[in-house]
Amino acid sequence: MRGYLQEQALSAQLVEILAPVSISPSEATHVRALIETDAAGDAEKVEAEITRIAERLSEIQGELNKLTKSYLKDVLDEDAYEQATTDLMLEKRSLKAQKAKLQRTGSALWIEPALAVVKALELAGKQQSNPSHTEIAGLVREIGLNPRVSLKKAEVNFAPPFARISQILAELRPEFADNELPHGDGSETRPVHQISRSSIWCSGQDSNLHALRHTPLKRVCLPIPPPEQSQKRNAH
């Protein structure tokens, strides 16, 4: 029983830690649509570039054929022929390498990682209302850096790109405080300021950016809260 309670307490702490990178299913759907739009645009650009390279390769082959005919008819001397053909062959080799790379990677190189990030953000959002210890543990392993538990308190840093995403969400959501967003299950709407407060964060940066003391210097970590928390405490 005691072990179960400790596990639940730890899960609750991790859910709160994950809140800054949590998005609702409707937000995830919106982001996926944006990714698909960008991917479609990239695919068109890649196809256009492959077509351009193919046309230039055809032109180079035509120029090489003309040079060969001119050389055989003694219109060009050997030095001029070798110099002209060398330049064209170098360009041809470079264009073939570019074409092969575009055909191999295309626009798909970034799509799968981006969708994986969105999936993790959506799963973090689901944990806010329906936590699962197994899923929380998997999320922490995926998006966390230097996880540790000390004195029954969990601490986790966000790995790239999740640290940047938490900052973006913190900046965007207060701007839409007067608007309404779909509820997590899509059944109703709610003002953004009613979304988990921890996903909005504080207005100022923490005074101590090395809370885990991972630098070699023996710093004293003073528990000075960020500006917004100080203002609230003084107001009371």
User: Residue 121 to residues 64, 177, 214, 222: CA-CA distances in angstroms?
Assistant: 55, 21, 27, 32
> Scanning the structure block, which residue is given the tokens 């996903």?
199
- Which helix (H) or strand (E) segment holds residue 30: the answer is helix 25-72
Classify 212 as helix, strand or coil. coil
pTM flag (> 0.85): no
Count Cα neighbours of 70 within 13 Å in the Cβ-side half-sphere.
Answer: 16
Which among 211, 196, 203, 200 is positioned nearest to 232, based on CA atoms? 203
**In the structure encoding, which two tokens stand for residue 208, read together?**
């101590």
Count Cα neighbours of 111 within 13 Å in the Cβ-side half-sphere.
Answer: 16
pLDDT score of 89: 94
pLDDT tens by residue, the chain, 236 residues: 565 667 778 888 889 889 999 999 999 999 999 988 888 887 888 888 999 999 999 999 999 999 999 989 888 888 889 999 999 999 999 999 999 988 877 766 678 888 999 999 999 999 998 888 889 888 888 888 877 777 678 888 888 889 888 888 888 776 544 444 444 444 443 333 333 333 333 334 444 444 444 444 333 443 444 555 545 555 55
**In the structure encoding, which two tokens stand for residue 188, read together?**
């109703």
Long-range contacts of 144-148 (CB under 8 A, 24+ apart): 146/212, 146/214, 148/212
Distance CA 208, CA 200 (A): 19
